Structure 1
Amino acid sequence: MPRPPGLRMEAPKSPEQEGIINNVRFVPIKKKDGTLIGWRSSRANMKSLELAPDSPITPVENVKYQVQAVSDTEPGDPMKGKLVVTIVKRQGRLLTADEWKEVEETVQKAEVPMRKSKAASREIYKLTGVPRKARSEPETRTEILQNMENVADQIIFQTAEDRENELELEAESILGDPLSAERVLKGFRLKNLAKALREHRIVQRTIAEHRKEEVHILASIKDAPTATQLEVLNEIRSKIAVQKDEIEKMTGANPEAFYGIHLSALKEYRHQLTRGRIVETPYVREKADDVVTHILAGKPVLIYGHLGSGKTELAMHVAKKYLGKEALVICGSKHTSLAELYGHQILAIDKIDKKDLDSFINDVERKYDTWVADHKNATDQEKHLAHDRILQTYLTHAKGGTVSDFFLGPIYKAMDEGRPIIIDEVNAIPHEVLISLNHILTRRPGETVDVQQDSGRKITIKPGFGILMTGNLNQGDDRYVDRQDMDPALLSRLYKLEYDYLPQKTVGTVTEADPKDELFTLLVSRLMDKNGDITVPDGSLSQLWKLAKVARVTQDLFAGHEVQDAMFKQGRDRPLAYFLKQSVLSIRSLDNIITQWQREGYRYELDEYIWKEFISQSTDVTERAFLYQLFHDRFGFFSGDKWDQNPDYGSGGRVTAFRITSPKLSAAKIETTGPRTTVETIFGHGPERTSWPSFDVAEEVEETTTPAETPETGTHEEQESVNELLARNAKTNETIRALQQYILNNQFLPIHAVNDWFHDEIERRMQAAFPNISPQEAEERLKRANIRIEDRESEQVAVSQSTDRVLFKKRIVDGQIVGFEDEIALMVRNVFAGSRSKSTLKNLDKIGLFGL
């Protein structure tokens, strides 16, 4: 391509002429398997650098070095190829620990807007199903809005998109340039986190495998373990202990491991809660292990406890996770019959005419109704047997039907298929039915049982069979209707496991919470989203702590335990010990409160939902009054001015009427706390960082080659012509940069869309400045002349958003951009062509760029 008159292209420089290069950072070159094969460094608009294998100094990532070029792979091209260099010396100094701590504070500050920006992105994706990259296309965005029929959805979409871009820009401005210490530390932290989570998953899988091996060996023990079995069991248990110690060490290795591992545990809790499953806290795990060891030893287990403690969920959890089978479940009641446990006969109708079927059914039902009328005191079991007998007699003698088979009930089916059987609410089943289990309870896998209801049939019990029972035992009172004391002979065949409510302190402040407060831990997990953020009214974590404490008090009172400072005070009467008989704040009740609070968008304070979803639901007026007093006096709920502070609590241990009108007080301002705060609320603060990344503070040495490269020209006039072109282009670039920053600050377009446009515009202007040479040559000349100017401009642009807007407007008022307004107006019109946003055009008009 011809060159303009007076311009002389430079000859390619030799490595010696290229000279010394300062402030170079290297990154490792690795194979897929992680093997290090070299070091390289990239430079904007310049040849990349590759470290010679025989360099006297081995580099460290993020450390700056002075290097000497020794060869050029493409000496004939100033842009292509790479320079092979050796390290001369290290430049700068390492940051001190105190300086790193300041950097970390900045990184944590940037995490807040970045986390909120990503939350907005997730919200948009949930609303539209369109990834962010696809949304950057104007056509896609327009289509999204057109497809939203609901105006509220459009407002949510646009508001979330504004937050997404604004907060991302804020985070990026805090982190600084791509080579800043903040970004280096951010990358260092991410590596630590990824490593900790990866290693933690490996250890967890290893422990799970060891537990499976332990369960297998325990299941294979017949009477007493052999010496070999004991040896292997001890070895497995030692390995599990070692792996648990490894998790402890891993968690304390660095802050990322501490927060990451604990957050993954809370996420798992949340995952189970949102699916309505039992959460395996340490207490639950301890009880599950106890159940498993006894089931594997062939001992039926009775899990007993109070309402809402999770007995049935524990039994089903053990069956599926540790015994490896879905359990068959019998729901016990006073109407449960032998047939529901063991099975019943199936009658085949093979000769009856279809036309006579209706008549046949009516005949059977008339005969049955006559029998019931003659036997008014018959039990349900007797009625069931009578109906079968009438049906069988009618088929056999009247219509020629035959008895074809016996349908196995859950007990025999579980034996035949090798599955656990759960008998829920076992003490609600009548004595005469339960007593039939005495023989069944002593049977173990491998043994044969006779199906008494199907004479001559035998079943060999398959491995995996086991019996679990659950029950609400009255234990001296009658709060559970239709529950009865169990027969001592039956109880003697069972391993009895009491299953209490989750552990929780009932005193202290939220700052004293720890992982042993499992109820509070579950409430926190229930409120956080899948990323660990908690977005709730301000002060909610303290309220949750109080709610967990009062919940445990109600559980203790419901279980019949006397609790200090939980007496019923009625006027001047002496405080009375009061035990709840109907209401208990179980996990199910707590979930009802929180779910309703969330679904109403935290419209009112938490107290409103505690009253509406729990206390007011009690049908016992005395119990309702006691609960209000307990929540108010001891735990500080209902303390707002509009709540009744002195209701009538009656006297003599009874309340005849108790009416409270909820004031429906609005919730506090919504605040978002991040994963770090969520973890610290439960587990406390993480360990101090003991190691930092390698990073140099640069010396005052310009990052350029020596000697300086400048275009050579033939005459003074020609030189002035080139300088004018360069100066004009530099000023244009400055204007474009200012406009770009203004657009970003005002969120007119997504960031990457502005960057793409800006890059294309810069390329167009470089070609316009040097119309008679190639774009690569023009870019090289501009780079050489403007590199220092551009560096300074980059620093000037990285100011606060508000300051930048003021500077941009000032440049227009002072006439500093005279001569470029028309070109900028054209660019803006092209960028916003077809825009429907009146506010965008109005804002551009306000700054005086052009009239619309």
Structure 2
Amino acid sequence: MQYVSTHPRKVRGEEVHQTSSEKKRTAKNRQLHKSMSIGGLEHEVSGASFHKGIETEECEVAVGKHPKLFREAVEAAYIVPDADHFVDAPDVKEVADRLKLWLSVGYPVHLIGPTGCGKTSMAMHIAKELGQPVVWINGDEAVTTTDLIGGYSQIEQETLRDKYVHNVFRSKDILKADWVDNPLTLACKYGYTLVYNEFSRTKPLANNILLSVFEEGILELPTKFGEERYIRVHPDFNAILTSNSVEYAGVHKPQDALLDRLVGIYMDYYSFNTEVKIVRAHTGVPERDARKIVGVVGSLREKLSDAQKPGTRACIMIGQGLKALNGHGSVNFEQLCIDVMATKTSSPADLLEKQSLVKEAIAGFA
């Protein structure tokens, strides 16, 4: 229960006594004004609330006047992975062009492929190219519809007592429910780009909310009260979903009704030369070392099952280890490869088998 004085005492423009929630809200507003201080944007959203998105009319006015500053503020509130060292190669461009084509005609795109093949990097790179703020969801077993759309974070009860007039006592109780928008709602409201990583690791029931978003362009907030229960999806809204192939552990098969509303693009591992460029861009190792790394990892892919195949990420990890050694230390190239491959072993016998495969692959590039 929160007691509010009708004539609060203030010092230097701030109330002397604040509850913990009020202090947090004040700190958030200060951070918002700091992030929007360039170009005078803070004067236009003064007093507005900002919680992982813009939620008041004053801030919506600022969107149109200062889109760049507004975008920077949103991106500062939502931490999303950076698509650094993105390599421009023919096979990369081919996938990127298809992805941009379908987004340009209004369809959400589902990137499907083996682990470590660059799905997330591709999604983030294209999302940034679209020029809208990017919001991020990472799917897993525990994700619910509320995690996607938001919910009532708290219900506050305020008791107002007025003793200003002598012999007059007035008491009033006010219940306030604070709604907090989560990534899907923000993206639909303001035309952001939604990147739903590991989409198929979320249980299908939680993703039912996407059906009306992708088909009718309407987002329903089942737990919200009043007229704001339905939101018309912003015309600039885009969605990119990424999933591992169904043979991977922990992957749920999405419902057919939802898949019918998506465009599916299957991604495989890039070509030898493209992976060499990617390894060099991420690690800075000489081309000779990068070619050896990619060759060894490619050889292992041919001999392992789909769920066990090492991806481009494994090449980068080996390259980073090799770069850190810089010719020094007791760890050799073979051991680096074995350490990276050991993450997908199920038993000592499995590890011995992979050690043998690594030695065989390295011998072929000696």
1:336 matched to 2:62? The reply is no
Change (3 A) 1:452 1:312: same
- Aligned residue in 2 for 1:722: none
Structure 2 CA distance, aligned partners of 1:527 and 1:345? 45
Aligned pair partner of 1:441 in 209, 214, 217:
214
- Aligned residue in 2 for 1:312: 120
1:410 matched to 2:217? The reply is no
- Aligned residue in 1 for 2:305: 579
Contact 2:112 2:244 in 1 (8 A): yes
Q: Deviations over 1:83-134 (max 9, x none)?
A: xxxxxxxxxxxxxxxxxxxxxxxxxxxxxxxxxxxxxxxxxxxxxxxxxxxx
1:462 matched to 2:221? The reply is no
Structure 1 CA distance, aligned partners of 2:356 and 2:365? 9
Q: Deviations over 1:683-715 (max 9, x none)?
A: xxxxxxxxxxxxxxxxxxxxxxxxxxxxxxxxx
Change (3 A) 1:314 1:526: closer
Contact 1:427 1:471 in 2 (8 A): yes
Equivalenced residue count is: 270
Q: Deviations over 1:417-461 (max 9, x none)?
A: 1111111111111222122321111245xxx65544333125343
Aligned pair partner of 2:354 in 619, 622, 627:
627
Q: CA RMSD in A?
A: 3.0
- Aligned residue in 2 for 1:480: 249
1:523 matched to 2:269? The reply is no
CA displacement at 1:589 relative to structure 2: 2.1
Contact 1:419 1:465 in 2 (8 A): yes
Structure 1 CA distance, aligned partners of 2:174 and 2:298? 61
In the alignment, residue 293 of structure 2 is paired with which amino acid? L
CA displacement at 1:503 relative to structure 2: 1.0
CA displacement at 1:619 relative to structure 2: 3.4
Change (3 A) 1:467 1:617: closer
Alignment gaps of 5+ in structure 2:
1-81, 161-171
Structure 2 CA distance, aligned partners of 1:275 and 1:316? 6
1:588 matched to 2:313? The reply is yes
Structure 2 CA distance, aligned partners of 1:496 and 1:520? 27
Alignment gaps of 5+ in structure 1:
1-273, 354-398, 505-516, 535-539, 556-562, 567-577, 640-852
Structure 2 CA distance, aligned partners of 1:616 and 1:526? 22
Q: Deviations over 1:643-662 (max 9, x none)?
A: xxxxxxxxxxxxxxxxxxxx
Structure 2 CA distance, aligned partners of 1:586 and 1:406? 41
Structure showing the higher strand proportion among its residues? 2
Contact 2:148 2:183 in 1 (8 A): yes
Structure 1 CA distance, aligned partners of 2:317 and 2:206? 36
In the alignment, residue 306 of structure 1 is paired with which amino acid? P
- Aligned residue in 2 for 1:429: 202
Change (3 A) 1:528 1:422: closer
Q: Secondary structure at the match of 2:176?
A: strand
CA displacement at 1:609 relative to structure 2: 4.3
Change (3 A) 1:638 1:608: farther
Q: Secondary structure at the match of 1:613?
A: helix
Aligned pair partner of 1:545 in 278, 291, 294:
291
**Higher RCO (C-alpha under 8 Å, 6+ residues apart):** 2
- Aligned residue in 1 for 2:134: 327
Aligned pair partner of 2:223 in 443, 453, 471:
453
Q: Secondary structure at the match of 1:334?
A: coil
Structure 1 CA distance, aligned partners of 2:282 and 2:197? 27
Structure 1 CA distance, aligned partners of 2:310 and 2:305? 13
CA displacement at 1:293 relative to structure 2: 1.1
In the alignment, residue 469 of structure 1 is paired with which amino acid? L
- Aligned residue in 2 for 1:554: 300
Contact 1:503 1:518 in 2 (8 A): yes
Structure 2 CA distance, aligned partners of 1:281 and 1:638? 25
- Aligned residue in 2 for 1:286: 94
Change (3 A) 1:426 1:419: same
Q: Deviations over 1:482-538 (max 9, x none)?
A: x1111111111110111111112xxxxxxxxxxxx2112333445648xxxx5xxxx
Q: Deviations over 1:211-235 (max 9, x none)?
A: xxxxxxxxxxxxxxxxxxxxxxxxx
Structure 1 CA distance, aligned partners of 2:320 and 2:148? 37
Q: Secondary structure at the match of 2:363?
A: coil
Change (3 A) 1:629 1:337: same
Q: Secondary structure at the match of 1:351?
A: strand
CA displacement at 1:401 relative to structure 2: 5.0
Structure 2 CA distance, aligned partners of 1:590 and 1:449? 41
In the alignment, residue 409 of structure 1 is paired with which amino acid? N
In the alignment, residue 223 of structure 2 is paired with which amino acid? Q
Q: Secondary structure at the match of 2:158?
A: coil
Structure 1 CA distance, aligned partners of 2:361 and 2:144? 48
Q: Deviations over 1:732-788 (max 9, x none)?
A: xxxxxxxxxxxxxxxxxxxxxxxxxxxxxxxxxxxxxxxxxxxxxxxxxxxxxxxxx
TM-score normalised to structure 1 length: 0.29
CA displacement at 1:592 relative to structure 2: 2.1
For 1:172-251, list aligned pairs within 5 A.
none
CA displacement at 1:402 relative to structure 2: 1.2
Change (3 A) 1:600 1:350: same
Q: Deviations over 1:588-618 (max 9, x none)?
A: 2222222222223321575244345324455
Q: Secondary structure at the match of 2:268?
A: coil
Contact 1:305 1:471 in 2 (8 A): yes
For 1:482-521, list aligned pairs within 5 A.
483-504=251-272, 517-521=273-277
Structure 2 CA distance, aligned partners of 1:522 and 1:346? 43
Q: Deviations over 1:233-286 (max 9, x none)?
A: xxxxxxxxxxxxxxxxxxxxxxxxxxxxxxxxxxxxxxxxx9844333222221
Structure 1 CA distance, aligned partners of 2:83 and 2:125? 13
- Aligned residue in 1 for 2:325: 600
TM-score normalised to structure 2 length: 0.65
Aligned pair partner of 1:613 in 304, 321, 339:
339
- Aligned residue in 1 for 2:3: none
In the alignment, residue 249 of structure 2 is paired with which amino acid? Y
Q: Which has the greater radius of gyration? A: 1
In the alignment, residue 551 of structure 1 is paired with which amino acid? V
Structure 1 CA distance, aligned partners of 2:102 and 2:133? 18
Contact 1:278 1:310 in 2 (8 A): no
Contact 2:120 2:197 in 1 (8 A): yes
Structure 2 CA distance, aligned partners of 1:346 and 1:552? 49
Change (3 A) 1:528 1:421: closer
Q: Deviations over 1:381-411 (max 9, x none)?
A: xxxxxxxxxxxxxxxxxx9451334322222
Q: Deviations over 1:137-189 (max 9, x none)?
A: xxxxxxxxxxxxxxxxxxxxxxxxxxxxxxxxxxxxxxxxxxxxxxxxxxxxx
Contact 2:290 2:319 in 1 (8 A): no
Contact 1:597 1:603 in 2 (8 A): no
Structure 2 CA distance, aligned partners of 1:345 and 1:440? 21
Q: Secondary structure at the match of 1:456?
A: helix
Structure 2 CA distance, aligned partners of 1:553 and 1:638? 10
Q: Deviations over 1:818-843 (max 9, x none)?
A: xxxxxxxxxxxxxxxxxxxxxxxxxx
CA displacement at 1:465 relative to structure 2: 0.4
Structure 2 CA distance, aligned partners of 1:550 and 1:608? 10
In the alignment, residue 480 of structure 1 is paired with which amino acid? A
In the alignment, residue 324 of structure 1 is paired with which amino acid? G
